[in-house]
Amino acid sequence: MSKVTFDGVTKVYEGGEVAVQDFTLELVDGEFLTIVGPSGSGKSTALRMVAGLEDITEGDIFIRDRRINDVPAQDRDIAMVFQNYALYPHMSVRKNMSYGLKMGTDLPEDEIERRVDEAAEMMGISDLMDDRPEQLSGGQQQRVATGRAIVREPEVFLMDEPLSNLDAKLRTHMRIELQRIQEDLATTTIYVTHDQEEALTMSDRVAVLNEGELQQVGTPEEVYNEPANHFVADFVGNPSMNFFDVALEDRTLVELGGSFEYQLPADIADTVNRRTSGGEFIFGIRPEAIEITDDESAETVEGHVDVVELVGSDNFVYLTINDESCILRTPADGAPEEGETVSITFNHDNVHLFDPETRENLTTETQVAEPPEP
């Protein structure tokens, strides 16, 4: 069982900069976990500590049940794919893929060739084996780098922003390819990215990191629909969640600037009141959870349409509600006209209230999802 365990892992650089703080997480065998966060959040540092490229200041990392803090990088039975691919420019594709096995193992030549040929076929690069990196496109180089990791047959794959140098179309294609390969090999994988779309589409679970601290671990659906705090709600989602400063008076949300009032469902109001005694909150609602309606019986808020932006099959509609800005997402054929006033309603199933001091989401208790069954 190639589980990976982070137990209170902390990394402090010289000078006192804390890159990762008390990081605790367990991956089960075969899981695909993505660590996502903004630049400087500590996600690559966490990965490099698993790889043996960074020392651990405090805590422990285990692969299976073996503590690897002091195990040399070459003895950890991991394979890493880097952002810049790190291919040897003077070597052919075949030599790049076989080099690590020839230098770091006692495998016979025929076994090395078998592994290289199988990985090349899996990656669709069998006809490129005699080419050098300079002759390859970015996507082909990425395939070679991934193939080089596959031939190791490691306990754990580590991938540090491997798609960030590709154009958008190729990045989408390679996302699908990496998912397929990971599912075929069933190898435990830790994938690092700043791209939330990659995180939400590729992963069994997503770990959101900010300023070195773990904010939430959950399935993509949980992280998106039940964000643990204001940071996760704001970081995950494109466009990001709308936020308003409000007071809760019994069951009525009152926007503090007087822009609107809105009646909450009883169960949400009761949950919030049970968890806090404060009266002021941050109200959050995702763009797709706001609907334009003509239903006169519905509880609505009026907004002025400033801009309608066509984005593929959707429209992003930018509204002003008195002095507050808001964005909603509608189908391309359902957009209002710029300059008109519309009535909007909020989907009660997607209402979030955050504590203005702790930033905790008071409407959900989902913060850490259990790892999937092995």
Q: Are 208 and 215 in contact (CB under 8 A)?
A: yes
Q: Which of 2-11, 22-31, 76-85 has the lowest mean pLDDT?
A: 76-85
Verify that 124 and 219 share a domain, yes or no: yes
Percentage of the chain exceeding pLDDT 70 = 97
359 in a domain, yes or no? Answer: no
Q: Is residue 60 part of a domain?
A: yes
Q: Looking at residue 84, what is its pLDDT?
A: 84
Which tokens go with 348?
């009660």
Question: In the prediction, which pLDDT does 278 show?
Answer: 66
Is the domain of 242 the same as that of 296?
Answer: yes
Residues 179 and 207 in one domain: yes
* DSSP string computed for 125-152: -GGGTT--GGGS-HHHHHHHHHHHHHTT
> In total, how many domains does the chain have?
2
Residues 207 and 260 in one domain: no
Residue 370 has pLDDT above 60, yes or no: no
Phi/psi of residue 222, nearest 5 degrees:
-65, -45
pLDDT at 251: 83
In a domain, 11, yes or no: yes
What global pTM score does this model have?
0.90
Mean pLDDT score of the chain: 92
In tens, the pLDDT along 37-71 reads 999 999 999 999 999 999 999 999 999 999 999 99
Question: What pLDDT is attached to residue 371?
Answer: 60
- Give residue 374's pLDDT: 55
Confidence check: pLDDT of 326 > 70: yes
Q: Is 358 part of any domain?
A: no
pLDDT at 338 over 70: yes
Rg (CA), the chain: 24
- Does 245 share its domain with 173? no
Q: What is the pLDDT of residue 205?
A: 98
pLDDT in tens, 213-241: 999 999 999 999 999 999 999 999 999 99
Q: Tell me, yes or no, whether 190 lies in a domain.
A: yes
pLDDT tens digits for 104-158? 889 999 999 999 999 999 999 999 999 999 999 988 999 999 999 999 999 999 9
Same-domain status, 27 and 117: yes
- CATH number where 37 lies: 3.40.50.300
Categorize the per-residue pLDDT at 274 as very low, low, confident or very high, splitting at 50, 70 and 90: confident
Q: Are residues 175 and 314 in the same domain?
A: no
Rounded average pLDDT over 330-355: 91
Asked whether residue 371 is assigned to any structural domain, the reply reads no
Cα separations in angstroms, 263 against 184, 273, 289: 49, 14, 16
- The helix/strand/coil state of 160 is strand
With respect to residue 370, please indicate whether it lies within any of the assigned structural domains.
no
- Do 108 and 7 reside in the same domain of the chain? yes
Residue 207 confidence (pLDDT): 98
CATH classification of the domain holding 344: 2.40.50.140
Instruction: Give the pLDDT of residue 114.
Output: 96
Question: In this prediction, what percent of the chain has a pLDDT beyond 90?
Answer: 73
pLDDT at 35 over 60: yes
Same-domain status, 291 and 326? yes
Tell whether the model's pLDDT for residue 78 goes beyond 70.
yes
- pLDDT tens, residue by residue, 237-269: 999 999 999 998 888 888 888 888 888 888 888
- Please say which residue of 166, 195, 229 terminates a domain: 229
C-alpha dihedral over 364, 368, 372, 374, to 10 degrees?
-160
Q: Is the pLDDT of residue 367 over 70?
A: no
Do 208 and 243 have their domain in common?
A: no
* Residue scoring higher pLDDT (277 or 339): 339
Residues 6+ apart with CB under 8 A from 284: 230, 233, 241, 242, 243, 351, 352, 353, 354
Q: What are the two backbone dihedrals, phi and then psi, of residue 38, each rounded to the nearest 5 degrees?
A: -70, 170
- Shared-domain flag, residues 163 and 292: no
pLDDT band at residue 275 using 50, 70 and 90 as cut-offs: confident
Burial of 50 from C-beta contacts in 10 A (0-12 / 13-18 / 19+): buried
Q: Is 368 inside a domain boundary?
A: no
Domain that holds residue 125: 2-229
* Residue 209 and residue 292 share a domain: no
Per residue in 180-215, pLDDT tens?
999 999 999 999 999 999 999 999 999 999 999 999
**Predicted pLDDT at 192:** 97
pLDDT at 4: 98
